Amino acid sequence: MNLPVANHSAVPPKDQIRVHVRLGLRSYDIVIGTGLLADVSSIINLAAGARIVVVSNPLVSGLYGGAFAKKLTAAGVDVIQIELPDGEVHKDWQTLNMIFDAMLARACDRKTMMVALGGGVIGDMVGFAAAVYQRGVPFVQVPTTLLAQVDSSVGGKTAINHPLGKNMIGAFYQPKMVLIDTATLATLPEREYRSGMAEIIKYGIALDADFFAWIEANLDALNQRDPNALVSAIRRSCEIKAAVVAADEHETNGGRALLNFGHTFGHAIETALGYGTWLHGEAVGCGMVMATRFSAKLGQIDAATGDRIIDVIQRAGLPVKAPSIEADVMLDHMSRDKKNDAGVIRLILLDALGKSRLANRVDQQTIRHFLTTGQ
């Protein structure tokens, strides 16, 4: 994977950074800056009709949605605000249907633009709703959590959960723009912030050893939400994700699957414990530790590299010890992973720091032994 060159120089607060996601007719920009929510013109410019549906949850709506909708209304837009219940446990059919109920009740047509204002749960659900409402309406991602700003808002994976598996029902559907206002992170609770750190660290471990070294050196600043470090980390994460998605939009050639490093274990943890018990990033953090240990067990990375990775995950405040879940339960959930091939569990494993691959032929008994004994 050829990644663009990193640029970690400080960005003046008023400046915007643009990262382009190159996908032919579905190309779009990720715009990163502080205070971007104050200017709604870029969103209005993308709307073909006079109507914009802003979907959020009561918490985010209270913090940012009201002011955002007011600005749109003042600019002459017919705004419909929809609030969904908050939390991973509500990322389901029933909640998704609330969007369709509200839009159909107001006779929204295909020119209606949707805006996802919130974290990854809102972004994934609104993206899916936009993909299927009247066979597709345009939408914009306005991510307000760290996790959504560095990962879920970019790349067009949209989904809801099923009781038997995470993100099992969904579609690939790209937004028209991703608008990242880093000022929204000021209100993000600490646990949610750490959860987002997991996906940033993921890019370094799986794809970019230099970025990992940069995270390692700047982790204290990142933990303290230093604005320069944060913008650098968001920018680099978006650059990496944009490059990966451009090369493998629909996860068909193995490239995009690498973004799933730690997720096979992580999704199984989330599902087994009950959605929302562990946050997505917590489960991914722990899943990355498991995938690292598994790679070391197979002799693909040395112990020192493994320790270095686990140390960064731990310093970011993420769990490194797997919760107590029976191996059979983990395997049952892992058997439904979307990367699997003819029932065979496939894992993203490390060949080195920053170098991962989709392993097709992992001995299933070795996985069972690892889950049973932790070794």
Binding residue for ligand NAD (CB under 6 A) from 81, 145, 300, 356?
145
Question: How far is residue 179 from each of residues 121, 123, 223, 316, measured CA to CA in Å?
Answer: 16, 12, 23, 26
Active site residue 260: yes
CA neighbor of 237 nearest in space, from 213, 203, 187: 203
Give min distance, CB of 364 to ligand NAD, in A.
25
Binds 372: which of ligand GLY, ligand NAD, none (CB < 5-8 Å by kind): none
Binding residues among 145-184 for ligand GLY as defined by CB under 6 A: 151, 155, 157
204 touches 215 (CB < 8 A) = yes
86 binds, among ligand GLY, ligand NAD, none (CB under 5 to 8 A by kind): ligand NAD
Residue 256 interface partner, choices ligand NAD, ligand GLY, none, CB cut-off 5-8 Å depending on type: ligand GLY
- Alpha-carbon distance 95 to 164, whole Å? 17
Q: Which of 91, 166, 194, 256 binds ligand GLY (CB under 6 A)?
A: 256
Cβ nearer to ligand NAD, comparing 194 with 293: 194
Catalytic residue among 166, 280, 293, 333: 280
Q: Quick check: is 167 catalytic? A: no
Catalytic residue among 241, 293, 333, 339: 241
Q: Rounded CA gap, 372 and 367, in Å?
A: 9
Q: How many residues bind ligand NAD (CB under 6 A)?
A: 31
237 binds ligand NAD (CB under 6 A): no
Decide if residue 65 touches ligand NAD (CB under 6 A): no
Nearer to ligand GLY, 151 or 270 (CB): 151
CA distances from 269 to 237, 327, 331 (A): 24, 11, 10
- Residues in CB range of 160: below 8 A, 6 or more apart: 91, 92, 93, 95, 96, 124, 125, 128, 167, 169, 170
282 touching ligand NAD, by CB under 6 A: no
Q: Nearest Cα to 184, choosing from 30, 285, 61, 44?
A: 61
Full DSSP string of 338-361: TT-BTTB--EEEEEETTEEEEES-
Rounded to the nearest whole angstrom, what is the least distance from the CB of residue 49 to ligand NAD in the complex? 26
CB nearer to ligand NAD: give 40 or 108: 40
Q: Which does 120 bind (CB under 5 to 8 A by kind): ligand NAD, ligand GLY, none?
A: ligand NAD
Of these residues, 251, 270, 282, 346, which one is catalytic?
251
Whichever of 259 and 347 has its CB closer to ligand GLY, that residue is 259
Query: 368 an active-site residue?
Result: no
| Contact residue for ligand NAD among 60, 99, 243, 289 (CB under 6 A) | 60
Q: Which of 82, 121, 259, 310 binds ligand GLY (CB under 6 A)?
A: 259
According to DSSP H, which parts of the chain are helical? 41-46, 58-60, 66-74, 93-105, 120-132, 146-147, 190-207, 209-223, 227-247, 263-273, 280-297, 303-315, 327-334, 364-373
| Cα distance between residue 45 and residue 28, in whole Å | 13
CB of 241 to ligand GLY, least distance (A): 7
Measured CA to CA in angstroms, residue 58 lies from 43, 64, 337 at distances of 22, 10, 32
347 φ, ψ to 5°? -125, 150
Write out the catalytic residue numbers. 135, 157, 199, 241, 251, 256, 260, 263, 267, 280
Per CB under 6 A, residues contacting ligand GLY are 151, 155, 157, 256, 259-260
